[in-house]
Structure 1
Amino acid sequence: MRTSLIRRSCAAALVLATTMTPAMAAQPDDSVARSGIGAHARLLGEKIVPHKLSYRNTTVGGLSGIDRDPCTGEYVMISDDRSYLQPTRFYTARIAVDGAGVHSVDFTGTHPFLQPDGSVYPPPSTGDGKAVDPEEVRVDPLSCRYWWAQEGDRPKSSSDPVIQPSIQFASRSGAYRGQLPLPPHYEVTMGNRGPRRNKAVEAITFGAGNRVLTSAVEGPLLQDGPEPDLQHGALIRVTRQSRRGDVLAQFAYPLEKIFTESDPTSPWPPDTGVPSILAFPDDPSRYLVLERTWVAGAGYKIRIYDATTRGATEVQNMDSLTGQNVVPMHKKLVADFHDLGLSTVDNTEGMTWGPTLPDGERTLLLVSDDNFAEDEVTQIVALGIR
C-alpha cells in the first residue's frame, strides 16, 4: 500500500464507525501452545537496492510484493506504481542468499501487466475507472504463471469511479489470463460496507498442496468495526478459495493495536494493516502474517506472526463481525524488526519463502516499498526460520 496516499487521506473513515466494536471470544492462556505454532527467526542479512535505480527504462521502487519462482529459482517483485512513473509492472531478479546473508540483488527483467485488450493500465488521473493499485504477486506453483492482487479504489467522492479489487492471472510476460471471483465481502460499495480505502485485498498465498488460494484484506471492513487504536486491535478477514473461486472458509485475524502515540503536530493518522500472508508448505492451516504499522513521529513497526486457523470461528456467513462471539485465528510473534539489528526498519510489505539451508532451516525473504520517496528505502531482508 502507498502509505503516502494514506497520509493524505482525511481521518473521516476512522470516525465513521467509532461506536462499533467487534467482540472476541475469550481464549484460554494455553491456546497458542495447543495450536502447534511458534516459529523462531534470526537475521541472516540485508541488502539495500539503490534508490530509484533505473532499469530498462523504468524506475525500480514501490516493491510491495515478492515471490520465489520455482521454475527458475529467481524472484518476481511487483511495483505499486499506479502507472504514474511507468506502466504498472513487475520485475524479476536473482537474489543470492544463504546462511551467511544476502550477497547480491541482480535484476533480470521487467514487464508491464496488461489489460484484457493488451494495453497497459492507465493512471488514476484518466478517470476512466480502469486504473489498478497493484500490491501482491505470487507465482503459481503448478503453471509458473503470475497471480497478482490489486486493491482497487474506494473513491473519495461520488463523482469518482469505483474500482473493484481483483486477483488476476498473467502470463510470465504480463499478458492478461483471467481473474479469480472474489467473495462478496471484498466488494467496494458506496455505502458503509466493504473494504476501507487502501485497505482491500493486499495479501495472497498458495497453500494446501497448492490447491487453495488464501487472501487477506489489509484492514477491517467498514461493517466489522473501527481500525486499531492505542487501546484496541481489530479483526480482518482471511479467506480460503479454490482455484475456481469457490469460498472454502473464512476466518478473522486479530490485528494488533497501535504501538505508540502519534506526533501531535502531524496531520496524518496512524496506518496499520496486513500487507502479506504466507502459507506454511506442510500445514494447510498455518500462515506467516506480516503486520506493518506507521505512526507519525515514530516511524514503522514491522512484525511477523505465526498464525493458525485451527480452532478459529468460521465467519464467511457473518455479514458483520461487530458484536459477534468470534474466536479469531491464534497467533504468536515470530519477529519484531526492531529486535533484529537491521540498518533501518522501513515499509516492509512483501515476503516469500527462499531456499532451504543445508541444516533444514528455511529462509524467508522480505522486501520494503520505498514509495519512491527520498526518506525511504528498498530493502531486501533475509531471515532464517525454524
Structure 2
Amino acid sequence: MRASLIRRACAAALVLAATLTPAGAAQPIAAAQPADAEPKSDIGARARLLGEKIVPHKLTFRNTTVGGLSGIDRDPCTGEYVAVSDDRSNLQPARFYTARIRVDGAGVHSVDFTGTHPFRQPDGSVYPPPSAGDGRAVDPEELRVDPSTCRYWWAQEGDRPQASNQPVIQPSVQFATRTGAYRGRLPLPSNYEVTLDDRGPRRNKAVEAFTFGAGGGLVTSAVEGPLLQDGPEPGLERGALIRVTQQSRDGDVLRQFAYPLERIFTTPDPSSPWPPDTGVPAILAFPDDPGRYLVLERTWVAGAGYKIRVYDTTTRGATDVRTMDSLAGQPVVPMPKKLVADFHDLGLSAVNNTEGMTWGPVLPTGERTLILVSDDNFAEDEATQIVALAVR
C-alpha cells in the first residue's frame, strides 16, 4: 500500500480478534485448540543487521524515475534482483527493474540497476494511469520470479472506488515474460474480490503479498488488511485477522488461514487528520518448509513514523478458514508467530516504508541473507533503502 495516500475480535464475547501478547503471539478467545491439530512448530528465527544502502532519490535510469519500490525478489537464473515500482503509470508506465546487489557478511556494498521494462496488457500496450478512467489502471505491489520457469509473476491491488462513478479494478496476480509481456493470470480466491456490498478487501488493502513455496508448486498470498466482513482494522487495543491463502499453481485454493496482525503501536498525533495505517506488504516462504513463512508488518502512525517488524509464522495448528464467510464471531485458531526483527532495534540510519523482502545468498556462517527494500513514495522526505539482514 502507498503510505502517501494516507498522509496527502470485534464486539461479541465469542469473537476471535487476535488478542496479542506483548511478545506478539496470538491467542484465540473462547476457542480451544482442536484435539486433532498438529502441535505448533518450534518457530523462532532471529536476525541481525548486515548493512544498508540508500538509492539516490528519484534516480533517473533509462528514461524512468527509480522509486516506489514495493516488492523485490532474487532471480535464481541470474543471481540478480527484480524490484517492482508501484508507480501507477503516473510518472512512466507501470514497470519493474533488475539490479545487481552486492551483499555479504560485511554489508551491502553496491546497488546497480541493470534493466527496466514496463508491464504489458494482453494487447501489448502499456497500462494507462488511473486518470484515464477506463478501469484498466493497475497498482503494482509485488513481484516474484517463478522458480520453475524464471518468468515473472506480479501482484496488483486493484481499486475499490471511492465514488459510484468510478470503476472497480479487481486485484490480480499476473504472469509476464522477462520483458513484461502478458502471459496470463492466477485465479484468486473468491473472497479476494472487491464488491460494492461491503465485502472483500478494503481500499488499498488487497493483494500486496505473495510467495512461492515447495519448489514453486505452492503459491501463498496474503491480503494486506482484514476483509470488510472479517471485522475492523487494528486499533490501539486490539489487532486484527487477515487471510493467508495457499493455492496450487493452477489457482486451486488448498487452504486458507487467519494471520494475527499487531495492534497499532502508539497513539497518533491528535493534530494530524490522517489515521494510522498498518498491514502486511510481504510474505516469504521458507525454502525447506512449505507451511512456514516470514511475514513483514508495516505500520505508519502520524507523529511517530514507521514501525517495521518481521515475524516467523507457521500454518501448523492453525484453523483452515477457507469455508468461513466471515471470521468475526468464529472460534478461529490463528497462525502462531514470533518476532524475528524490529527495525527500531537494528541500528539503522532510519526506519523507512519497507514493503518488499526476499532471500539472498547463504553466508559462510550458515545464515541466510534477507534483503528488504523500502517504498519512498517518490517523496522528498522518504528514501529507497536496501537493508540486508542475516537470519538464523
Q: Which TM-score band applies after superposition, normalised by the shorter structure?
A: over 0.9
Q: Secondary structure at the match of 2:191?
A: helix
Cα distance between partner residues in 2 of 1:334 and 1:23: 23
TM superposition shift of 1:6 = 2.8
Question: Are positions 1:124 and 2:104 aligned together?
Answer: no
Give the direction of change, closer, same or farther, for the CA distance of 1:33–1:284 in structure 2 (3 Å limit): same
TM superposition shift of 1:35 = 1.8
Aligned to 1:88: 94
Aligned to 2:4: 4
Output one character per residue of 1:244-293: Cα deviation in whole Å (capped at 9) or x when no partner: 00000000000000000000000000000000000000011100000000
Residue type of the partner of 1:186? Y
Output one character per residue of 1:7-56: Cα deviation in whole Å (capped at 9) or x when no partner: 35xxxxxxxx985754452578xx99942100010000000000000000
Residue type of the partner of 2:384? T
Aligned to 1:215: 221
Q: Secondary structure at the match of 2:216?
A: coil
Give the direction of change, closer, same or farther, for the CA distance of 1:189–1:22 in structure 2 (3 Å limit): farther
Residue type of the partner of 1:97? V
Match among 147, 152, 167 for residue 146 of structure 1: 152
Residue type of the partner of 2:6? I
Structure 2 gaps, min length 5: 19-27
Aligned to 2:111: 105
Q: Secondary structure at the match of 1:73?
A: coil
Question: Are positions 1:316 and 2:311 aligned together?
Answer: no
Q: Is the 8 A contact 1:122 1:131 kept in 2?
A: yes
Aligned to 2:382: 376
Question: Are positions 1:46 and 2:52 aligned together?
Answer: yes
RMSD: 1.6
Over 3 Å off, 4+ runs: 17-24, 31-34
Residue type of the partner of 2:116? T
Q: Is the 8 A contact 2:295 2:313 kept in 1?
A: yes
TM superposition shift of 1:358 = 1.6
Question: Are positions 1:291 and 2:301 aligned together?
Answer: no
Residue type of the partner of 1:2? R
Q: Is the 8 A contact 1:23 1:325 kept in 2?
A: no
Residue type of the partner of 1:315? V
Aligned to 1:57: 63
Output one character per residue of 1:173-210: Cα deviation in whole Å (capped at 9) or x when no partner: 00000000000010000111000000001000000221
Residue type of the partner of 1:370? D
Cα distance between partner residues in 1 of 2:215 and 2:53: 32
TM superposition shift of 1:234 = 0.1
Cα distance between partner residues in 2 of 1:159 and 1:225: 27
Q: Is the 8 A contact 2:40 2:317 kept in 1?
A: no
Aligned to 1:251: 257
TM superposition shift of 1:5 = 1.4
Residue type of the partner of 1:136? E
Q: Secondary structure at the match of 1:37?
A: coil
Cα distance between partner residues in 2 of 1:32 and 1:136: 32
Cα distance between partner residues in 2 of 1:34 and 1:181: 30
Q: Is the 8 A contact 2:17 2:240 kept in 1?
A: no
Residue type of the partner of 1:168? Q
Match among 239, 242, 248 for residue 236 of structure 1: 242
Residue type of the partner of 1:215? S
Residue type of the partner of 2:306? Y
Q: Is the 8 A contact 2:10 2:329 kept in 1?
A: no
Aligned to 1:327: 333
Structure 1 gaps, min length 5: 9-16
Aligned to 1:300: 306
Cα distance between partner residues in 1 of 2:185 and 2:291: 24
Aligned to 1:172: 178
Q: Is the 8 A contact 2:231 2:328 kept in 1?
A: yes
Cα distance between partner residues in 2 of 1:5 and 1:23: 26
Cα distance between partner residues in 1 of 2:92 and 2:272: 31
Q: Secondary structure at the match of 1:343?
A: coil
Q: Secondary structure at the match of 1:209?
A: helix
Number of equivalenced pairs: 376
Q: Secondary structure at the match of 1:185?
A: helix
Q: Is the 8 A contact 2:39 2:316 kept in 1?
A: no
Output one character per residue of 1:335-369: Cα deviation in whole Å (capped at 9) or x when no partner: 00000000000000000000001221100000000
Identity %: 80
Cα distance between partner residues in 1 of 2:342 and 2:182: 37
TM superposition shift of 1:95 = 0.2
